[in-house]
Homo-oligomer: A and B are copies of this chain.
């Protein structure tokens, strides 16, 4: 990773760990513009008992109504699902950087088909964190990805 990517993904990982420590699903995200983090968040579906608060959604909420998204990059510790990929496409975010997609293939092909640049850093730290959660909480994970 280059130093900037490392910094932003590290921030997303810290968000994921915060979610883990709250008893939630360990996925974190940050939104970046002009080399600065303008929003960050983590999956809070369990904490808030709210089905739509995936990490990327929480991040976009926390960034607020920023106007145009065309110069933003969304970092997430895990490949976005269709909900979050749909947000990326609808809002016009052009670049997505993910920590891993070993545990969840997500909507990568959909994002690419819509012209979004997707970079998968394939980090052991992200993959191990997610694998551990899924192993210990298969029902919560299946609910998260709509496979009940």
Evaluate contact between B67 and A60: CB separation under 8 angstroms: no
Which residues of chain B come closer than 8 Å to A112, judged between CB atoms? none
Within the assembled complex, what's the spacing in Å between the Cα atoms of A83 and B45? 17
List of B residues within 8 angstroms of A143 by Cβ: 65, 67
Is A29 in contact with chain B by the CB < 8 A criterion?
A: no
Nearest-Cβ distance from residue A51 to partner chain B, whole angstroms: 5
Classify chain A's interface size. 20 to 34
- What residue in chain B is nearest A63 (Cβ atoms)? B51
In the complex, the answer to whether A86 meets B60 with C-beta atoms within 8 Å is no
- In the complex, which residues of chain B have a beta carbon less than 8 angstroms from the beta carbon of A146? 69, 90-92
Q: How many copies does the complex hold?
A: 2
Whole-angstrom CA separation of A2 from B61 in the bound complex: 38
Instruction: Judge whether A136 is part of the interface by a CB distance below 8 angstroms.
Output: no
Question: Which A residues, 65 to 88, have Cβ-Cβ distances below 8 Å to chain B?
Answer: 65-69, 81-87
Asked if A61 contacts B52 (CB within 8 A), the reply is yes
- Contact between B51 and A64 (Cβ–Cβ < 8 Å)? yes
- Given contacts A69-B146, A85-B86, list 8 more A-B pairs with CB under 8 A: A51-B60, A51-B63, A52-B52, A67-B143, A67-B148, A81-B86, A82-B87, A86-B86
